[in-house]
Structure 1
């Protein structure tokens, strides 16, 4: 069965994926071109579209009451704006030469081909599932979509006990550990790294480790899960490592995600070393004039190292969609790249980073110095001033800022934005020391912690 051809419409845009990048692209293209100029068809295999995946841990943890609060725009709202959004419909094949996609209705199994003039691939990412016995057992959950969040909550509601094991200690892992603590579970985090949060250097990850244990979370580092054991009914009962067995009524996979590019790979589209689609600055897939890609399925330019990297973040996905929709709509926009800024929390501990870690700088062939300082979120004499640790990397001789990591309590995390702006501007740490930041005792010491770190880094550069 074939879908109707564009007919009287001058062109048709087909979007694969109904979340941040895909629907941002569709919405922006619609703002620029009306239905008489551009027909827009979008396919989404799940039950939800245009939602905040970043909010799922807070829904699971109870801070958000339901999935409706995480939805930015419903399918009905998209359709009212002239976007033909087809839910529970999965694209199974891209025919680049024929400029068409094959889609299957998830409920009925019916298939059809839809031709396109422009194609947007916004297939997102998939949770990494370790290749081991029991990885697909009942009670083992990845958390990437609202459907995943619903499935996890259903398991928590049926669980016979209150023991949870989180596999992995990256952003997803620590956020899900918090969510499960908030649900009253005994939480064990099994992590193959030396310290949690591999996005930080180990010395900063150690601070996170200590804080998580202080919150009652059992941390098991430097080991891998080799098996998930199940009971007679096939439900998870324990997680096994080479040295121990940890009882579990639910297991959450927080190992990370990979770009979901199986469709793109089968279609022969170019992929990078991390498995993500490669695009130009306009978010056009390299070598394909009318195929675009954005969101968690693409690799992006790191402005600090000059290399391609893979970062799955909703902030980037929405920007990619805006760029794609602008270009498809006949205007012009580019996505310049990223500096790798991210912020998270586990209970009252805030964790932030931007730019390069030490191993990233080594990999890029950069010589650098480091500076680590301890300070407080407010003037030391002001009530509720909380401690924070700031680590800064700067290039030797030039003093160019390379990266910043921050671990602390309330008021620590968003300070990373100062460093993100400085990185984007290519500032040196010496230049940063003169930044005119806002000051009052309730908000910071007279020397903001980021500037204290910059002063120490600037001295290290001079001494080197």
Structure 2
């Protein structure tokens, strides 16, 4: 059997590992439009800062990964389409690669809005490794002293804090009325933004970029307007980072009968390639995982979730099933957290259609749990660090110097708390919030929700 995997990110790597657990001998070809082995896509701000090791960045072991799992890795091979009737993948330049099973794991590409001046030097996206290296090079050259970031999603705010800590004057322009609009509601987002403003980051909410201006081929200013206003404002800058979202690379299947995620009521595409609980598309020999596809989440909703954990989970399910097993995805996880140090934020599930919300505040934590029909449908978390001393009686810290170092760097502990909350709510099918759970949250004992032995807090406060 020949398996062709389109893409080389987390979904692809997890699929390879899962497949080889079952099938040791079939051919696996991995096609990538980049030149690098699999790398951690959620660490681009670390690349910009220069504080990540090669082992951590290329977290699967670099090129040795492909040798270990007997993979024919083909970099710089951009797949432009698939012909599922003839069962071939078509590479830019015309090469056709036949398959028995195909996994679409090509991810998503940066969405670049049609802003006049976007082609100027100093204007870039911040999605992949080449982007991050380019931004770092510009900063180290001394060319960049001021930066405008368009978009205040997770990548935008992480890059904003990174640049500020590197000595850059930072301005963030956001179309919506809050930062992290897909992660937090207005009250939670304002609490989080305040901490970043205190670090000296400037935010322009409810603003849109009208144009990017420059001379001699390099950016010099960004023109913005408040929504509903005709009056322009100009922000002088040496660099613009377009962090305006991503789009699934569904062009690969545009000439096929493979189904996309469509809102039937509105009759429009609302996500990526549609995948079932086995990560199969409407063609049973074509699978999809990661940012390119939509699937059922842990609450039973079809959603497009472009996150690292989702990609890894979906990729593993696809790998097992391409190898002949019948493994069902229990529901895509979507807990997310931003890795900023002045403040942290995490969320999971959905909150737009919640019927009620339960809020608890404890010391530097603010947690909001959203309910629908009495069941948990999502949550949000914001942590403002207070610099308490570490409590070495905590089981996480005993004999684990590396973990201690990591805790000290991530002072707000948002990613850990976010994951604990999410997995607790996923363990129980009815997901009802009991008085005991309320008490644990109010007392800040997030870790006890996952395992009672971690009830001892991480900090003395």
Q: Distance in 1 between matches of 2:56 and 2:105?
A: 22
The structure-2 alpha-carbon separation of the partners of 1:320 and 1:420, relative to structure 1 and needing over 3 Å to count, comes to same
The structure-2 alpha-carbon separation of the partners of 1:421 and 1:178, relative to structure 1 and needing over 3 Å to count, comes to same
The structure-2 alpha-carbon separation of the partners of 1:82 and 1:200, relative to structure 1 and needing over 3 Å to count, comes to same
Residues 218-297 of structure 1 mapped to structure 2, 5 A cutoff = 218-232=202-216, 234-242=217-225, 243-272=232-261, 273-286=269-282, 288-297=283-292
2:396 aligned residue? none
The answer on whether the counterparts of 1:134 and 1:229 sit within 8 Å (CA) in structure 2 is: yes
Q: Distance in 1 between matches of 2:187 and 2:439?
A: 28
Aligned mate of 2:17, from 27, 46, 49: 27
Alignment partner of 1:337 is 2:331? yes
Alignment partner of 1:303 is 2:293? no
The answer on whether the counterparts of 2:309 and 2:334 sit within 8 Å (CA) in structure 1 is: no
What SS is found at the alignment partner of 1:241? strand
Residue-by-residue CA offset, 1:40-74 (whole Å, 9 max, x unaligned): 11111101121101011111123225587344232
Alignment partner of 1:147 is 2:91? no
The answer on whether the counterparts of 1:281 and 1:336 sit within 8 Å (CA) in structure 2 is: yes
1:350 aligned residue? 344
The answer on whether the counterparts of 1:342 and 1:353 sit within 8 Å (CA) in structure 2 is: yes
Tell me the number of residue pairs that the alignment of Structure 1 and Structure 2 aligns: 406
1:440 aligned residue? 456
The structure-2 alpha-carbon separation of the partners of 1:77 and 1:369, relative to structure 1 and needing over 3 Å to count, comes to closer
- Deviation of the 1:412 alpha carbon: 4.7
- Deviation of the 1:191 alpha carbon: 0.7
2:422 aligned residue? 420
Q: Which moved more, 1:423-432 or 1:111-120?
A: 423-432
2:175 aligned residue? 192
The structure-2 alpha-carbon separation of the partners of 1:82 and 1:443, relative to structure 1 and needing over 3 Å to count, comes to same
Aligned mate of 1:391, from 350, 364, 368: 368
Q: Distance in 1 between matches of 2:290 and 2:150?
A: 25
The answer on whether the counterparts of 2:82 and 2:253 sit within 8 Å (CA) in structure 1 is: yes
Alignment partner of 1:53 is 2:41? yes
Moved over 3 A (4+): 65-71, 433-438, 441-445
- Deviation of the 1:319 alpha carbon: 1.4
The structure-2 alpha-carbon separation of the partners of 1:444 and 1:294, relative to structure 1 and needing over 3 Å to count, comes to farther
The answer on whether the counterparts of 2:32 and 2:74 sit within 8 Å (CA) in structure 1 is: yes
Aligned mate of 1:402, from 364, 372, 377: 377
2:147 aligned residue? 164
Aligned mate of 2:115, from 132, 135, 138: 132
> Scaled by the length of structure 1, what TM-score is found?
0.82
The structure-2 alpha-carbon separation of the partners of 1:180 and 1:360, relative to structure 1 and needing over 3 Å to count, comes to farther
The structure-2 alpha-carbon separation of the partners of 1:433 and 1:81, relative to structure 1 and needing over 3 Å to count, comes to same
What SS is found at the alignment partner of 2:371? strand
The answer on whether the counterparts of 2:171 and 2:201 sit within 8 Å (CA) in structure 1 is: yes
> Scaled by the length of structure 2, what TM-score is found?
0.83
2:389 aligned residue? none
1:92 aligned residue? 80
The structure-2 alpha-carbon separation of the partners of 1:269 and 1:137, relative to structure 1 and needing over 3 Å to count, comes to farther
The answer on whether the counterparts of 1:401 and 1:422 sit within 8 Å (CA) in structure 2 is: no
Residue-by-residue CA offset, 1:336-358 (whole Å, 9 max, x unaligned): 2235311113223110112222x
Residue-by-residue CA offset, 1:373-412 (whole Å, 9 max, x unaligned): 3212xxxxxxxxxx122222223xx532222211112355
The answer on whether the counterparts of 1:126 and 1:258 sit within 8 Å (CA) in structure 2 is: yes
2:70 aligned residue? 82
The structure-2 alpha-carbon separation of the partners of 1:441 and 1:176, relative to structure 1 and needing over 3 Å to count, comes to closer
- Calculate the aligned-residue CA RMSD, in Å: 2.1
- Deviation of the 1:95 alpha carbon: 1.0
Alignment partner of 1:120 is 2:103? yes
2:3 aligned residue? 13
1:317 aligned residue? 311
Alignment partner of 1:181 is 2:183? no
Unaligned runs of 5+ in 2: 226-231, 262-268, 386-410, 441-447
The answer on whether the counterparts of 1:156 and 1:250 sit within 8 Å (CA) in structure 2 is: no
